[in-house]
Structure 1
Amino acid sequence: MANIDLNRRRVAAAAALLALPAVRAWAQGYPSRPIRVVVPYPAGGSTDQLARAIQQPMQELLGQPVVIDNRAGAGGTIGTDVVAKAAPDGYTLAFGNTGPNAVVSLLRKVPYDPVHDLAPISTVALTPMILAVPADSPARTLKEFLAYAKREGDKLNYGSVGNGSLSHLTGEQFNDQAGLKLKHIPYSGGAPLLAAFAGGQLQAAFVTGLDGASMLASGKVRYLAVATPKPTDVVPGLPAIAEEVPGFAATAWFGLLAPKGVPADILAKVHGAVVAAVARPEVRKIFIDRRIEPHSSTPQEMEQRIAGEMKHWGEVIKKAGITI
């Protein structure tokens, strides 16, 4: 029996060696047809806008059409699952973000494994979470807000774009690290959150620069501070929350992933196109105008970022007892 198993292993190894030239030829001919990028959110949303910003540059760099396929639903997990189960040939990619790729699986069962079923290619952009308050808030500075919140205790609330969202988790992290008792009120997206701000129903919320743009433009909201370790040019003129709450940080990322198993040569071609696309001046301007930092990375750096976030947000979820 041992000899049979050994022979099987030898045959399998020989077959794998014989297949290598074919795999290399396949990769060298890539891409030979359109590439589908699945955005797991509706057309026109923040994630979709960023995906479309790199769409044309990637088409030019790869020499094939790049087609955006919006597959919204279930917090981004429906579209992400489409990619996780796609053929590992480089023709189906995911434009992911922190939610379906680092957080949602910590809160409920999802039909894919974000670590073992998907291969990071590169981040595309980063955006810090921003502490926003109503324009008529008595707190004009971060220090004043902390004093106000500690004085009022659980009489104050903060809104989020949904249970288990990054805006929710950031609020709970803020409560914990700042010693506050703000009550969480979830909404079903940015538009209802803005309406709540405009109606005077909220005292605070954590938003991204992209999602918060319409709130800020409405004149109903003010930004107080940014959740980066120190002030950032991405959202100029704001202090870092860490100046008053040491160690506080919360950042959202957006990036490209592939099904696990795509040949390394193909991943390298896509990675090169993403990095070059993000570096283009017109793409950088689109991102910066939306308070988003253009930021490409190596696959290994992106993998480490996801692993670090899963550990960090897992601890926040456990400590706050968050369920969805």
Structure 2
Amino acid sequence: MNLAKRILPALALALAVCAGHAQTYPSRPVRLVVPFPAGGGTDIVARKMAQHLHEELGQVFIVDNKSGASGNIGAESVARSAPDGYTLMLTAAPFAIAPALFKSLGFDPVKDFTPVAEVASVPLLVVTRADSPLKSIADLVAAAKKDGNAISYASFGNGSPPHLVGERMKALAGIGMTHVPYKGSQAALPDLLSGQVAVGILDVVSMTPLIKSGRLRALAITGPQRTPVLPDVPTLTQAGIPFDTVGWYAMFGPAGMDPAITARLNGAVNKVMARPDMRSLLLASGSLSVDPAPTAAQWAAAFKDNVQVWGEVARASGASVE
């Protein structure tokens, strides 16, 4: 009993100190690492979000582009930072795929990071040229079942989310398709438009103008919901292939962050991403707002599942970048 009387006040004091730190956080500028080059989708979202976080939390959020090794250099630098909330990272879905692709990785996405907030979902489009005989996913599946070499598909590259979506489509539909990797959507377009590849699994922002101009036809979109940009395009699940895992942008910090600071950041990020200008920015970049926005704990659970799902798909595909 005497021991309990001594422990309980100490515990209460420790909790009060933690709460006090969270209430005064941040008290100095925060570094927001983007592990990709400036000018990309993640960077654009990070810079606009940083402006609003400054307004919400009263401190400058400095975007630091630390690119290289498919985002792994920047991620490793964050993993090795102090878990005080002053070094954060905004990254994308390849972060969850990295353990399955790289034989030697300087971090574990689940063990070495604190998931803070999911910022946006990033769907992909399955597209074909406008005069293609493929008018639906059902047509694609039928053609592939008739001739296993009939369907080739373009992606961003080996081990990328589009590549893994294609491999998952193959497995779920029981078909064969030939993967043709390119260095980005723009590099794939000439072969896609000329029919050198039958379909592309590519980003929404690059494909939408070509779809609306009548040069490409969209067969499906990844993720659990349709996009307001192309409301008539069904999801893969609606088109008969039950796969709704989608890309994302999300904020992380080093493992061991104070839960109260993590919760404060999560609330601020969710508030910022609900602003009309942020929703418009996401939509213009082919991304979608996350509704309802998850708590830090909810995102941590979803992220852990995401690492498992993408990892299983990547390993089954045999994809590797080393």
Q: TM-score, normalised by structure 1?
A: 0.86
User: Would the aligned equivalents of 2:33 and 2:90 in 1 still touch at CA under 8 Å?
Assistant: yes
The match for 1:6 is none
Unaligned runs of 5+ in 1: 1-13
Change (3 A) 1:266 1:202: same
1:36 aligns with 2:31: yes
- Alignment of 1:134 with 2:149, yes or no, is no
Deviation at 1:16, TM superposition (A): 9.0
The 3-state SS of whatever aligns with 1:155 is: coil
Once the two structures are superposed, residues 47-91 of structure 1 have per-residue CA deviations (whole angstroms, 9 ceiling, x without a partner) of 212222322211100111111111122111111111111111111
Is the contact between residue 126 and residue 199 of structure 2 (CA under 8 Å) also seen in structure 1?
A: yes
- List per-residue Cα deviations over 1:22-41 (Å, max 9, x = no partner): 65544333212221111111
Counterpart selection for 2:198 from 200, 203, 210? 203
Asked if structure 1 preserves the Cα contact closer than 8 Å seen for 2:99 and 2:311, the reply is no
| Paired residues for 1:43-192 under 5 Å | 43-100=38-95, 102-108=96-102, 109-192=104-187
- SS of residue paired to 2:149: helix
Equivalent-residue separation in structure 1 for 2:132 and 2:159 (angstroms): 26
Instruction: Count how many residue pairs are aligned between Structure 1 and Structure 2.
Output: 312
Bigger shift: residues 250-259 or 130-139:
130-139
Are the aligned partners of 1:127 and 1:292 in contact in 2 as well (CA < 8 Å)? yes
SS for the counterpart of 2:320 is coil
Note the C-alpha offset of 1:278. 0.7
C-alpha contact 1:50 1:287 (8 A) present in aligned 2? yes
Q: CA deviation at 1:234?
A: 5.7
The answer to whether the Cα contact below 8 Å between 2:148 and 2:175 also exists between their aligned partners in 1 is: yes
The corresponding residue for 1:319 is: 316
The offset of 1:170, in angstroms, is 0.4
Deviations 1:180-235 (A, max 9, x none): 21111112223322343245432112223235446647864321112235645464
The CA RMSD measured in Å over matched residues stands at: 2.7
1:77-131 deviation line (CA, Å, top 9, x unaligned): 111111111111111111022111x111112121111111100011011122221
* d(CA) in 1 for partners of 2:263, 2:225: 33
The CA distance in 2 between the partners of 1:158 and 1:148, in whole Å, is 13
**Residue type matched to 1:188 in 2?**
K
Matched AA of 1:225: A
8 Å CA contact 1:229–1:247 kept in 2: the answer is no
Q: Provide closer, same or farther for how the CA distance between residues 231 and 16 of structure 1 changes in structure 2, counting only shifts above 3 A.
A: closer
Amino acid at match of 1:107: L
Q: 1:21 to 1:303 in 2, by over 3 A?
A: closer
Equivalent in the alignment of 1:300: 297
Q: Against the structure 1 CA distance between its residues 86 and 220, is the aligned structure 2 distance closer, same or farther, given a 3 Å change threshold?
A: farther
Tell me the TM-score normalized by structure 2.
0.87
**Identity rate, percent:** 35
| Aligned counterparts of 1:214 and 1:47: Cα–Cα separation in 2 | 21
Q: Give secondary structure in 2 for the equivalent of 1:132.
A: strand
Tell me the equivalent position of 2:286. 291
Tell me if 1:247 matches 2:242. yes
Aligned to 1:5: none
SS in 2 for 1:68: strand
Which whole-Å CA distance do the structure 2 matches of 1:22 and 1:308 have between them?
33
Runs of 5+ unmatched residues, structure 2: 1-8
Q: Kindly provide the amino acid, as one letter, of the partner of residue 315 in structure 2.
A: K
C-alpha separation in 1, matches of 2:10 and 2:185? 53
Q: Which residue of 2 aligns with 1:269?
A: 264
